[in-house]
Structure 1
Amino acid sequence: MYVIAIHGGSGTINRSEITSEQEEAYRQALGDALDAGYTVLARGGSALDAVEQAVRSLEDNELFNAGKGAVFSANGKHEMDASIMCGRSLKAGAVAGVTNIRNPISLARTVMEHSDNVFLLGSGAEDFAREHKLAREPDAYFYTALRAQQLKEAQAANKTQLDHSARNTGKGTVGAVALDKDGNLASATSTGGLTNKKYGRVGDTPIIGAGTYASNQTCAVSCTGYGEFFIRAVVAYDIACLMEYKGLSLKAACDYVVQDKLKKMGGEGGLIAVDGAGNVELPFNSEGMYRAWRNAAGEGEVTIFA
């Protein structure tokens, strides 16, 4: 038994606002990322390798708000966050506010495996990346006309915003969760954060327990949405806690947290989750979420809308 699920963000994603060509491009990108992770699992590889490869694929695609497609912060930079967690060992690695790193998710894994720390920030994390010779890219690599326009609009309105608006399809945080043949779980999440974010703002993505969590005892979770709410609700760990301490199923835990707890707080978004039995849940309380999954039997789907 093995299974993988991925997401490319949640939010205001209306069919009427996406052309057929755009929809096909998103589906292709999701399919490519799903294939990248699934191939690792099908060859007997680890869940940790699978989620890293799936997220790297999404980071390398400018359609999504992570890596190459990261949004602009108020200072005109691309400040990226990422985290990864191993369900077998409960080891984790995370980075926040890093610039010019091609694949922040690989930096997060390097932190997990080659440092005594869990979470590295900004210039310190970048120094660590240099020491370990991780791929870097110039500012131009991360530039897209769409992201520049989004920054211009956000600055004109003097606000920060999710990468979701009426004129712009909702491409946000990316993530992956997986179960491998050995019964190990893993989770990975990466993002460019909010357009026009200020003061070194960090969302839930790099915070273990908020945006990312994995434990072989329960489940693996990767979140997407308005990070402040996911931090306050400790969403990823809450799913695992409801399973471990209250005996809830993966579905029941996900439904309660996303459709009840988060909604009552005013939080919008969703998550992907998988448990040790190979069950997959992809709940969201927004209008859509870029998502896909596939199991060892080849069952699965690639979908966007509610």
Structure 2
Amino acid sequence: MKKLIAAVALALLSQPALAEEAAPEQARWSLAIHGGAGTLDPKAMTPEKRAAYEADLQRALDAGSKILAEGGDAMDAIKAAIIIMEDSPLFNAGKGAVFTWDGTNELDASIMDGRDRSAGAVAGVKTVRNPILLADTVRTQSEHVMLMGAGAEAFAAEKGFEVTPPEYFATEARREALERLKAEKLSALDVDHKFGTVGAVALDTKGNMAAGTSTGGMTGKRWGRVGDAPMIGAGTYADNRACALSATGWGEYFIRVGVAHEICARLRTWWTVDPQTMESALGEALAKAGSDDANSFELKLPRAPEDLAQSIADSVMADVAALGGDGGVILVTPEGHAIFSFNTTGMYRGRATSAGLNEVAIFGGEERASSTPDH
């Protein structure tokens, strides 16, 4: 019987779109940000450290929210939020990037526009203060999606980016992490208790969505290792029909699962099928199979868009965990929901919406709503 139900459901999901969700309200906007997920210990979080992280998260959230509240574009909002986190030494992106095995800081970033699915990405750059801006320039001023290393830096120079000296990115805490990794023969996971990748996703009042991600990678990375952050479909994805998403975590697993695209694709697939049509078809299948429960059959599907998005995100993150990886995602939906999903003890995160939600959080289950900032 279960096989029959699965077969009918699969057949329905394979059909052309039968129903579309109503367009989002024009005044609705939504923003979510992250500053990395990982094994965070509440006991090791001093009040001073917590205040510093929350302050920078709030600054990033406010910068993006202001643009959206004033009717600005989702792309501009996510760039504004990410730049603040790239410029903060607290996160593993830009200024606070981790060191490679050779003692350098190599930066990755990607960005995507949900309107036309245009995308740009850079990997392994060393002289660009805000890699998210270079990724966007790749998107808008080249025929390519991803540039890497010296070529990406040559492109940056051609487009007028100032050369940032290597010492700008170096912080003592990140240098000590590399030294400890080498001295004690540890892995990056032993010294990086969190994945400090930063990201932002947004829905603007015109119904357009965007996503961006920026990172310094993993401490002690070698041989030009690149994680999921600059990979469209793994660490970043945006599609106005489904969602905008940014990921943070153990990149190799996010690449293998294709986390960002997987979540958005599942959302898009679900909403191409009218739940009533699916329920009717499955009920008929049970009746034809002679089930005694056919008349009282009730299909258990998540009805609310927010519940559906949360369920799908949690399912994909469970898949990552089953393979051995950990981390988290942020996403916004066309309906304006801002959602988190992570399989770690914490994720530096924040979200704000036109409905008045405005909050930042660090550990699991501690979201606390407050009024929207007065811009």
State TM-score, norm by structure 2: 0.79
Task: For 1:169 and 1:290, locate their aligned partners in 2 and report how far apart those are by CA, in whole Å.
Answer: 12
1:169 is displaced (CA, Å) by: 5.7
Residue 80 of structure 2 is aligned to residue 53 of structure 1: yes
Larger Rg: 2
- Mapped to 2, the partners of 1:300 and 1:14 lie a distance apart of 24
Matched with 1:293 is 351
The answer to whether the aligner puts 1:174 opposite 2:198 as a matched pair is: yes
- 2:8 counterpart residue number: none
The superposition leaves residues 104-136 of structure 1 with CA deviations (integer Å, 9 ceiling, x where unpaired) of 000000000000000001000000100111233
1:281 maps onto 2:339 in alignment: yes
Task: Determine helix, strand or coil for the equivalent of 2:342.
Answer: coil
Q: Is the 8 A contact 1:55 1:174 kept in 2?
A: yes
**Which residue in 2 is equivalent to 1:240?**
264
User: Equivalent residues in 2 for 1:177-256 (5 A)?
Assistant: 177-247=201-271, 249-256=308-315
Which of 22, 28, 36 in structure 1 is aligned with 2:49? 22
Distance 1:65 1:76, change over 3 A: same
User: 1:85 aligns to what?
Assistant: 112
Counterpart residue number, 1:140: 167
Instruction: Give the counterpart letter for 1:288 in structure 2.
Output: G
CA RMSD across the alignment: 1.3
Cα separation, partners in 2 of 1:236 and 1:171, compared to 1, 3 Å = closer
- Whether contact under 8 Å (2:178, 2:219) holds in the other structure is yes
Q: Which consecutive residues of structure 2, in runs of 5 or more, have no partner in the other structure?
A: 1-27, 272-301, 303-307, 365-375
With normalisation by structure 1, the TM-score equals 0.96
Q: Which runs of 5+ in 1 are unaligned?
A: none
Residue 130 of structure 1 aligns to a residue whose secondary structure is helix
AA aligned to 2:183 is A
**CA deviations over 1:21-76 (Å, ceiling 9, x no partner):** 00000000000111111111112110011111110110000000000000000111
Q: 1:176 to 1:36 in 2, by over 3 A?
A: same
- What amino acid is aligned across from residue 251 of structure 2 in structure 1? G
Structure 1 segments of 4+ aligned residues over 4 angstroms from their partners = none
2:363 corresponds to 1:305 = yes
In the TM superposition, residue 160 of structure 1 has moved relative to its aligned partner by 4.1
In 2: Cα distance, 1:154 partner to 1:115 partner: 39
Match of 2:285 in 1: none
Alpha-carbon distance in 2 for matches of 1:119, 1:158: 33
Q: Distance in 1 between matches of 2:252 and 2:186?
A: 15
2:177 corresponds to 1:119:
no
Equivalent position to 2:100, from 64, 68, 73: 73
Identity level (%): 48
Residue type matched to 1:100 in 2?
A: T
Is 1:94 matched up with 2:108? Answer: no
Give the Å deviation of 1:159. Answer: 4.5
CA shift, 1:157, in A, is 3.3
Q: Does 1:41 align with 2:99?
A: no
Output aligned runs, 1:257-272, within 5 Å: 257-258=316-317, 260-272=318-330
Deviations 1:147-203 (A, max 9, x none): 1100101112344414x74xx763510000000000000000000000000000000
